Structure 1
Amino acid sequence: MAATTRPSEPESHVKEQPPGALPFVLSQPPVIEGFRQSPKVKDETFKEKFIRKTKENPFVPIGCLGTTGMLMYGLRSFHQGKTKQSQMFMRGRIFAQGFTVVAIIVGIFATALKPKQ
């Protein structure tokens, strides 16, 4: 059975472009219906981002410093031959690492639950 084809009719919401004209302006972002573009955020330097993140969740840098301190003192004790003290610092390092991981997870949940601006 042969299907009949109808000539396509231009839809009322499609605008005819003159020949050679571009359908958009190259110097501006495209306009998409139903999409709201967020304002441009200025690029942050490493220092600015570090300070902002530290203010949002100060426990992560504290945990990192604690982990590093325990590791350094544990390695120093190990080098000096103080095995009991070295073990104590290495166990403390594990505790500090756990504290840091928990701080990161709590920070992620706090950020997710914070209402959008």
Structure 2
Amino acid sequence: MSSDNQWSADLEESQSSRLIRKSRDSPFVLVGIAGFVTMVSYGLYKLKYRRDQKMSIHLIHMRLAAQGFVVGALTLGVLYSMYKDYIRPRFFNATKK
């Protein structure tokens, strides 16, 4: 039997090293996480001063704001990777000819 398929604890990545590796590959993931944490923190802060607004409405608004920030960051990341993979090589390769 080959030992390549066996699980080893030495090869297991920690959560922090995995996050660092993912942030190098796609930096907009960190932007999305930071925006989500910021929106949730802001929502919790504003929870104290919501006046006569219902709790459920306040939570729905904060959830939508946090999700919107994450979706926006992911969309920017996808557009950037498409630019990097498809558009930029086309222009740089055309100028070298």
TM norm structure 2: 0.48
The structure that has the greater radius of gyration is 1
Structure number with greater CO (CA < 8 Å, separation at least 6) is 2
TM norm structure 1: 0.41
